[in-house]
Amino acid sequence: MTPTRARAGANIALIKYWGKRGAGDLNLPATGSISITLNELETVTTVTPDTALSGDVFSLNGALIEDARVLRLVSRMRAAYPAMASYCRIESVNSFPTAAGLASSASGFAALVLALDAAFELQAPTDELARWARIGSGSAARSLLGGFCRMHRGQAQDGHDAIPEQLLDHTAWPLEVVVAITQTQAKGTSSRKGMTHTMATSPYYSAWVRHNEQVLDEAEKAIVSRDFDRLSELSEASALQMHASALAAEPAVLYWNGSSVECLHAIRELRQSGHGVFFTMDAGPQVKAVCLPGHGESVATRLQQVPGVQSVVSSALGPGGCRI
Ligand code: 2P0
């Protein structure tokens, strides 16, 4: 049968998501989050329905793998949509290192649900696809939308209101992102394990949840009014507070290496010398520098010189995921 392709960009949270609410398997976030979707770091996923298959087959970057989360989500969607009558081959390709703190699960699950929707002609609305993507990975719902996106925590137990909303599209405020890669092998502790362990053992976790939920409106205001200085303060604080909650877990969850810390200092120095830039970090040792338009190149040059930085990757903001 005909292969169908979809793409989705990775996204980087400025106000972080770290931990779940509720006990079910709907993967509901404990707090809302705010992210930017990237253009150059993307996943392209091809889905080919095939009546001759006796099960779904998944490959990532050309290698066949048994990814339980992917296969479970596909079965769950098949149970909900009669149009998904046959099994399918799913081929997913990332344009960046997998599982190194670059949110490959976000672009991956977003591209997956879009490719399934297109291949089986489900014609599901974006909110519905976002709920499926969220079940795959909490951050993935954000990659369905471009530019600046706010993911809502929601209140409902069935998760219908835990969905993303676009705040600005990618052309409305074309910030630039530079990622300093300080390690290329897969990280030691996955996001899911890291956040579950933080929830279970960190005495700082409840304070994190309370505070993070409170700053979302202010961060949204800073984005809509293009207030870069305020967005810088709120974003750096959210990233460091997320890591502080993880560092306070027992045993501690520590995602940084020495080079990560040097990058944070370099970005602070760049800002003091007049560059429009702030940092953020996720569940891995890479450092992301978010820059005002026109500032990305000099920031990339400086980060490349930080000891331990193996390479830098630059990206514009990008549109939401789509069929290609
Ligand atoms: C974020 N991260 O907001 C946060 C900050 C990592 C650090 O969302 O368990 O892979 O699959 O829902 O989406 C990464 O967590 O976790 C993430 P699951 P996910 O971007």
pLDDT in tens, 77-100: 999 999 999 999 999 999 876 544
Ligand 1 site-directed mutation target among 17, 190, 198, most atoms within 8 Å of CB: 17
Q: Which atom of ligand 1 is nearest to the CA of 139?
A: 13
- Average pLDDT over the chain reads 95
Q: Please report whether residue 323 resides in a domain.
A: no
Q: Check whether residue 253 and residue 304 sit in a common domain.
A: yes
Q: Check whether residue 201 and residue 165 sit in a common domain.
A: no
Q: Check whether residue 20 and residue 142 sit in a common domain.
A: yes
Q: Which atom of ligand 1 is nearest to the CA of 136?
A: 11
Low-confidence residues of the chain: pLDDT under 50: 99-100
290-293 LR contacts (CB < 8 Å, sep 24+): 290/12, 290/14, 290/36, 290/175, 290/176, 290/177, 290/232, 290/235, 291/175, 291/176, 291/177, 291/178, 292/175, 292/176, 292/228, 293/174, 293/175, 293/176
Query: What CATH number should be reported for the domain holding residue 231?
Result: 3.30.70.890
- Provide DSSP, 210-250: HHHHHHHHHHHHHHHTT-HHHHHHHHHHHHHHHHHHHHTSS
Measured by CA distance, the residue closest to atom 9 of ligand 1 is 192
Q: Check whether residue 129 and residue 13 sit in a common domain.
A: yes
Residue 61's alpha-carbon distances to 35, 97, 113, 134, 278, in angstroms, are 25, 10, 18, 22, 32
**Enclosing domain of residue 193:** 176-316
Q: Please report whether residue 188 resides in a domain.
A: yes
Q: What pLDDT score was predicted for residue 28?
A: 97
Q: What pLDDT score was predicted for residue 142?
A: 98
Q: Please report whether residue 93 resides in a domain.
A: yes
Q: What pLDDT score was predicted for residue 101?
A: 56
Residue-wise pLDDT tens digits, 214-260: 999 999 999 999 999 999 999 999 999 999 999 999 999 999 999 99
Closest CA to 319 of 126, 69, 58: 126
Residues with a CB atom less than 6 Å from ligand 1: 13, 16-18, 27, 33, 103, 105-106, 137-139, 191-192, 282-283
Q: Check whether residue 70 and residue 25 sit in a common domain.
A: yes
Measured by CA distance, the residue closest to atom 7 of ligand 1 is 282
Q: Check whether residue 216 and residue 312 sit in a common domain.
A: yes
